[in-house]
C-alpha cells in the first residue's frame, strides 16, 4: 500500500460546520501560517512591480528585436518602390508599429502575480470547492512530496525552474496542482492556459495567480510565436516555476493522449539555444475517482459541439459541491534535468556527429522534441495511481454476459488488483477488495446498475458503458502490450488453435502501427516487447510456446475458460471496432459510376472533411444499433478523427485545404486505394482498401455476421454506398451554386 496524506484534510474536517467555515476564512484573510504564503521555496513572486519587470524583460528580448527587424524588412521588400529617406522613415514606422503590437501581445499573456491577497482569496475558494466536491480529499504520496520539496530547494539554489507537466483530464487539474504548491510552500507556477478560459472576472483572477493566456491557434503569426518564446525564456531565466499540459487539451476518453509539441517546443528551444541553462522536468499524474466533466465529454464524443466556457458555466458547476466524487490522487514522478536528458539522448545515437545542443539540425531537434514528449507521457503513466472507480469499471467492461454477482465481482476485483501489481501499477490505498468495490460503486453512482429483487444474489451490471469506458481507459496503459499480443493471437485462435511466432509478429506490427496514435508503448522496441510479453504470459500459464508455435495453455483454455485472454482482448476490442468503422467509411469516398464517367483522370473527388466525419459517425451509430458494432464508445468522434489522421500519415487518404469563401479541410482517397464499382454502382469486393479492412476484421470480436473474413455485410456496404451518393449530390449542388456565383 502507498503511504499518502490528504492535502486538504483540515478543511474537510470543518466542511459541515458554519463556525469552522468562518474560522477557516478568517485564517485565510489574515494569512495565518502556510496560508500567508510568505515562506515558500523558489523564485520570488507576489511583490509590487513584478509584472512590469517581466514585461520590460520580455519586450526588450533580443528575440523580439530580431523578429521585429526581420518582419519590417520583409514588408519593405514588398514596398520596393520606396528609396532613401522615404524607405528609412517607413522602416522606423514599421518597427514602432510591430514593437507596439508585440507589447500588446505580451501584456495580454503575462500573468500578474503581485498580490498574496488574491492568492489567499482564490486559495480559500478553490480549497473549499475541492473539499466539498471530492469528499475523500486530494491525496499525495508522503515520500514524493518530501522529494519534491528537496528538488525545489535544489532548483532554487541553482536558480532554475521546476517545469510541471501534468496529465489533463479535468479543469480540476489546475486547481489540484495549485493547491499542492500553495499548501506545501512551493513557488506558484506560471500555467499555460488557452484564452478560451479568459472570461470576465474569473479570467482576471486566474491571471493574478499565474494563468498565462495564449491563443488556441497562432495562425502562423511569427511575431506572436516570438513573443511567447521570449516570455517563456524570461520565466525560465528567472527560475520561476512553469506548468503546461503535455497533452494539450483535456482527454475526453480517459487515457493519456499523444503529446502536443507546441509549448514543449518553446521550452526545449530555450535549452537548445543556450538562452536558458537548464530546468527540472516533473511529470505529474492527476487521477480521479470521478471526473466532473465526463457527461459533457460523452456529449462531445457523440458529436455535440463543444461550448466555449463561460463564467455562468463555471457557476453552474458549483452544484457538484454537494456531490460525493471520491478523491483526487496527484503523483509526482522523480524530477530530471532537461539538459542532461537531451545530452544523454543525443549521445545515445552515435550517427549524430554534433554533440552540442546549439548546433543541431532540424531533424535531430525534432527527434529530441518527440522523444522528450513520449518520455514525459511514459513517466506520467509510471506515476499514475489506479482508482477504485477504474477498477470497478474495468471489471464490468471486460466480462462476458450481462451482469456479475457480488462474490464473483469481489473475485474479479482481487484478480485485477493482482494484474495491476504484476504490471508495476499502483492501486490507490484501500484496505481490502470489499472497500475498493464499495468506494468505486459509490462514486460511479448510476453508471453501475444493481439488481436485487427476486434474485438469489445482488447482481451488478454496466448501466452506462460509454461513461464507464472513460474510467477503464485510465487502466489500459498497464496492459497495452498484452492486449495487442492477445489480439494478434486472436486473429488465428478464433479459427484454429495456434499461431506461429512469425505470424504473430506480423499481426502485432500491423495493430501496433494502427494504434500508435492511441497508446503509449514501452520504448524498448517492438520485437523485444513482444518477446518479453510472451515470456510473462507464459510464466503466468496463460500461453504455451513450443517450437515458435503459440497457443493458449490448457489451464487458460479449459479450466479458466480464457478468463485472462478474454480480459486483455476486451480492453482493446472497442478500439479495433472504432478503427474498423473508420476504414469501412472510406468506401463512401469511392466515386460513383456517374462521377467516374465525367471525371478527368487527373481530377480527384474531394470531400469536406468535417462533414465526412459527421456523416461517418452517423453511419457508425446506425450500424451499432443494427448490431454490427459491439460498443457504442467505438463511434466516438475522437477515435474516428485519430483514425483518419493515421490513414493520412499512411498515404491511404489525401488532404488539402480549400480557400473558397472560408478555409476548409478536404480529404480524398489516394488513387491506388480507390475501389472499383460494378454495373450496379456497388463497390467490388477487391483491392487494397478491401484487404485492409479485412486485416482489421481479423482482430474483431466474433459476433453477428463476423465469423468470416472480411466481415463487411451487404447491409454495411449498402449504407456506405448511401453515404457516397449523399456526398455526390451535395458536391453537385455546391458546384452548381459556385457556377451561378
Q: What is the CATH number of the domain that holds 469?
A: 1.10.10.2450
Alpha-carbon distance of 381 to 286, in angstroms, equals: 10
Q: Find the CATH number of the domain harbouring 535.
A: 1.10.10
Distance of CA 184 to the CA centre of its chain: 28
pLDDT at 606: 87
* One domain for residues 29 and 15: yes
CB 74 within 8 A of CB 91: no
* One domain for residues 701 and 612: yes
pLDDT digits (tens, 9 = 90+) for 268-319: 999 999 999 999 999 999 999 999 989 889 999 998 776 665 444 544 554 5
Distance of CA 740 to the CA centre of its chain: 45
The four Cα atoms 153, 154, 156, 160 give a dihedral, to 10 degrees, of -140
* One domain for residues 700 and 635: yes
Instruction: Provide the 3-class DSSP secondary structure of residue 324.
Output: coil
Residue 203 lies in a domain: no
Distances (CA, A) of 92 to 63, 110, 116: 18, 26, 42
Residue 99 lies in a domain: no
* One domain for residues 543 and 402: no
Which residue's entry shows cell 507521457?
A: 377
When divided into structural domains, the chain yields a total of 4
Cell of 336: 530530471
pLDDT at 509: 96
Can you name the residues that pair with 669 across neighbouring β-strands? 653
Alpha-carbon distance of 617 to 315, in angstroms, equals: 32
CB 621 within 8 A of CB 493: no
Alpha-carbon distance of 590 to 406, in angstroms, equals: 51
* One domain for residues 493 and 585: no
Alpha-carbon distance of 358 to 378, in angstroms, equals: 26
Residue 201 lies in a domain: no
- Looking from the CA of 728 toward its CB, the CA atoms found within 13 Å total 18
> How does 41-63 read in b/e, with b if 16+ C-beta sit within 10 Å?
bbbebbeeebbeebbebbbebeb
Instruction: Provide the 3-class DSSP secondary structure of residue 427.
Output: strand
DSSP string, 259-316: PP-HHHHHHHHHHHHTSS--EEEEEEEEEESS-TTHHHHHHHHTTPPPPPP-HHHHHH
Residue 613 lies in a domain: yes
Nearest Cα to Cα of residue 721 among 711, 733, 729: 729
Task: Please list, in sequence order, all residues whose beta carbon lies within 8 angstroms of the beta carbon of residue 581, skipping any fewer than 6 positions away.
Answer: 616, 619, 620, 623, 629, 634, 635, 640
Residue 224 lies in a domain: no
pLDDT at 737: 39
Residue 310 lies in a domain: yes
The four Cα atoms 107, 108, 110, 114 give a dihedral, to 10 degrees, of 80
Residue 379 lies in a domain: yes
Instruction: Provide the 3-class DSSP secondary structure of residue 52.
Output: helix
Instruction: Provide the 3-class DSSP secondary structure of residue 139.
Output: strand
- Looking from the CA of 395 toward its CB, the CA atoms found within 13 Å total 32
Which residue's entry shows cell 522523444?
A: 371
Distance of CA 270 to the CA centre of its chain: 25
Can you name the residues that pair with 607 across neighbouring β-strands? 667
DSSP 677: B
pTM of the entire predicted model: 0.91
CB 190 within 8 A of CB 50: no
Rounded to a whole number of angstroms, the distance between the first and last alpha carbons of the chain is 71
Q: Which structural domain, as residue segments, surrounds residue 184? A: 4-46+113-189+241-383
Which residue's entry shows cell 503511504?
A: 3
pLDDT at 726: 66
Which residue's entry shows cell 503523483?
A: 331
Cell of 303: 458529436
Q: Point out the residues of the chain with pLDDT beneath 70.
A: 1-2, 12-16, 306-323, 350-355, 703-711, 724-741
* One domain for residues 299 and 394: no
Alpha-carbon distance of 113 to 48, in angstroms, equals: 9
* One domain for residues 537 and 610: no
Nearest Cα to Cα of residue 643 among 576, 714, 727: 576
455, 474, 493 — which closes off a domain?
Answer: 474
Cell of 95: 518597427
* One domain for residues 435 and 491: no
Neighbours of 644 (CB within 10 A): 23
DSSP string, 609-668: HHHHHHHHHHHHHHHHHTTS-S-GGGG-HHHHHHHHHHHHHTTSEEEEEE-SSS-EEEEE
Burial class (CB in 10 A: 0-12, 13-18, 19+), 10: middle
* One domain for residues 664 and 728: yes
Alpha-carbon distance of 475 to 420, in angstroms, equals: 8
CB 727 within 8 A of CB 733: no
Q: How many residues does the chain have?
A: 741
Task: Region of 8 please: left (phi>0), alpha (psi -120 to 50) or beta.
Answer: alpha
DSSP 519: -
Task: Please list, in sequence order, all residues whose beta carbon lies within 8 angstroms of the beta carbon of residue 666, skipping any fewer than 6 positions away.
Answer: 606, 607, 608, 609, 655, 656, 657, 658
Cell of 341: 536528458
Cell of 115: 498580490
Task: Please list, in sequence order, all residues whose beta carbon lies within 8 angstroms of the beta carbon of residue 404, skipping any fewer than 6 positions away.
Answer: 395, 396, 412, 459, 460, 461
Burial class (CB in 10 A: 0-12, 13-18, 19+), 236: buried
DSSP 588: G
* One domain for residues 487 and 462: no
Residue 199 lies in a domain: no
* One domain for residues 656 and 534: no
Which residue's entry shows cell 543556450?
A: 274
Neighbours of 442 (CB within 10 A): 19
Cell of 264: 514543449
518, 537, 561 — which closes off a domain?
Answer: 561
pLDDT digits (tens, 9 = 90+) for 602-649: 778 888 999 999 999 999 999 999 888 999 999 999 999 999 999 999
CB 492 within 8 A of CB 502: no
Alpha-carbon distance of 240 to 110, in angstroms, equals: 13
* One domain for residues 722 and 626: yes
CB 186 within 8 A of CB 149: yes
Neighbours of 502 (CB within 10 A): 8
CB 734 within 8 A of CB 606: no
357, 383, 409 — which closes off a domain?
Answer: 383
Amino acid at each position: 500500500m502507498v503511504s499518502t496524506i490528504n492535502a486538504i484534510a483540515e478543511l474537510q474536517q470543518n466542511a459541515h460546520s458554519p463556525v469552522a467555515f468562518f474560522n477557516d476564512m478568517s485564517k485565510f484573510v489574515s494569512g495565518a501560517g502556510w496560508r500567508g504564503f510568505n515562506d515558500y521555496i523558489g523564485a520570488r513572486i507576489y511583490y509590487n512591480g513584478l509584472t512590469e519587470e517581466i514585461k520590460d524583460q520580455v519586450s526588450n528580448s533580443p528575440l523580439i528585436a530580431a523578429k521585429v527587424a526581420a518582419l519590417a524588412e520583409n514588408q519593405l521588400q514588398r514596398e520596393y518602390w520606396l528609396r532613401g529617406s522615404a524607405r528609412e522613415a517607413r522602416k522606423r514606422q514599421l518597427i514602432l508599429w510591430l514593437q507596439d503590437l508585440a507589447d500588446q501581445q505580451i501584456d495580454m499573456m503575462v500573468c500578474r502575480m503581485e498580490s498574496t491577497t488574491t492568492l489567499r482569496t482564490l486559495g480559500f475558494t478553490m480549497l473549499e470547492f475541492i473539499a466539498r466536491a471530492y469528499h475523500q480529499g486530494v491525496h499525495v504520496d508522503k515520500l514524493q512530496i518530501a522529494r519534491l520539496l528537496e528538488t525545489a530547494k535544489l532548483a532554487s539554489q541553482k536558480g532554475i525552474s521546476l517545469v510541471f507537466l501534468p496529465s489533463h483530464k479535468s479543469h480540476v487539474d489546475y486547481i489540484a496542482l495549485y493547491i499542492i504548491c500553495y499548501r506545501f510552500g512551493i513557488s506558484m507556477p506560471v500555467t499555460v492556459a488557452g484564452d478560451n478560459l479568459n472570461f470576465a472576472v474569473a479570467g482576471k483572477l486566474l491571471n493574478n495567480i499565474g494563468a498565462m493566456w495564449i491563443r488556441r491557434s497562432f495562425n502562423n503569426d511569427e511575431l506572436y510565436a516570438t513573443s511567447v518564446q521570449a516570455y517563456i525564456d524570461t520565466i525560465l531565466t528567472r527560475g520561476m516555476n512553469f506548468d503546461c499540459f503535455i497533452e494539450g487539451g483535456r482527454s475526453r476518453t480517459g487515457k493519456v493522449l499523444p503529446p502536443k509539441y507546441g509549448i514543449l517546443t518553446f521550452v526545449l528551444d530555450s535549452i537548445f539555444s543556450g538562452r536558458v541553462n537548464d530546468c527540472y522536468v516533473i511529470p505529474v499524474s492527476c487521477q480521479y475517482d470521478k471526473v466532473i466533466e465526463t457527461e459533457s465529454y460523452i456529449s462531445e464524443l457523440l458529436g455535440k459541439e463543444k461550448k466555449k466556457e463561460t463564467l455562468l458555466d463555471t457557476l453552474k458547476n458549483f452544484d457538484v459541491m454537494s456531490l460525493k466524487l471520491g478523491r483526487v490522487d496527484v503523483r509526482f514522478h522523480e524530477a530530471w534535468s532537461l539538459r542532461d536528458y537531451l545530452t544523454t539522448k543525443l549521445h545515445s545515437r552515435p550517427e549524430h556527429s554534433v554533440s552540442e545542443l546549439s548546433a543541431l539540425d532540424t531533424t535531430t531537434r525534432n527527434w529530441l522534441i518527440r522523444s522528450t514528449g513520449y518520455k514525459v507521457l511514459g513517466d506520467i503513466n509510471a506515476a499514475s495511481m489506479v482508482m477504485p472507480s477504474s477498477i470497478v469499471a474495468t471489471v464490468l467492461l471486460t466480462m462476458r454476459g450481462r451482469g456479475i454477482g457480488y462474490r464473483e465481482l469481489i473475485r474479479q476485483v482481487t484478480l485485477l488488483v493482482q494484474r495491476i501489481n504484476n504490471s508495476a501499477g499502483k492501486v490507490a490505498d484501500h484496505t481490502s477488495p470489499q472497500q475498493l468495490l464499495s468506494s468505486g460503486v459509490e462514486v460511479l453512482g448510476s453508471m453501475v446498475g444493481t439488481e436485487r429483487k427476486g434474485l438469489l444474489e445482488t447482481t451488478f451490471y454496466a448501466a452506462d458503458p460509454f461513461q464507464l469506458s472513460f474510467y477503464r481507459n485510465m487502466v489500459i496503459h498497464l496492459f497495452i502490450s498484452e492486449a495487442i499480443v492477445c489480439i494478434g493471437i486472436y486473429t488465428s485462435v478464433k479459427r484454429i488453435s495456434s499461431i506461429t511466432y512469425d505470424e504473430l509478429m506480423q499481426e502485432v506490427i500491423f495493430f501496433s502501427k494502427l494504434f500508435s496514435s492511441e497508446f503509449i508503448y514501452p520504448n524498448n522496441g517492438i520485437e523485444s516487447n513482444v518477446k518479453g510479453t510472451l515470456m510473462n504470459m507464459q510464466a503466468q500459464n496463460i500461453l504455451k510456446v513450443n517450437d515458435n508455435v503459440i497457443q493458449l495453455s490448457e489451464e487458460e483454455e479449459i479450466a479458466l475458460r480464457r478468463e485472462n485472454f478474454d480480459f486483455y482482448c476486451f480492453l482493446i476490442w472497442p478500439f479495433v471496432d472504432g478503427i474498423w468503422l473508420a476504414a469501412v467509411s472510406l468506401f463512401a469516398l469511392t466515386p460513383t459510376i456517374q462521377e467516374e464517367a465525367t471525371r478527368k483522370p487527373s481530377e480527384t473527388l474531394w470531400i469536406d472533411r468535417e462533414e465526412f466525419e459527421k456523416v461517418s459517425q452517423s453511419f457508425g451509430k446506425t450500424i451499432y444499433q443494427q448490431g454490427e458494432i459491439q460498443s457504442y464508445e467505438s463511434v466516438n468522434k475522437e477515435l474516428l478523427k485519430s483514425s483518419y489522421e493515421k490513414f493520412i500519415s499512411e498515404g491511404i487518404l489525401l488532404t488539402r485545404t480549400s480557400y473558397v469563401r472560408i478555409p476548409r479541410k478536404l480529404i480524398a482517397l489516394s488513387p491506388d486505394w480507390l475501389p472499383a464499382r460494378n454495373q450496379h454502382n456497388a463497390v467490388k469486393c477487391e483491392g487494397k482498401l478491401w484487404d485492409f479492412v479485412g486485416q482489421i476484421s481479423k482482430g474483431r470480436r466474433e459476433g453477428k455476421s463476423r465469423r468470416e473474413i472480411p466481415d463487411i455485410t451487404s447491409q454495411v456496404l449498402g449504407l456506405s454506398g448511401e453515404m457516397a451518393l449523399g456526398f455526390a449530390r451535395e458536391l453537385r449542388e455546391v458546384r452548381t451554386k459556385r457556377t451561378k456565383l
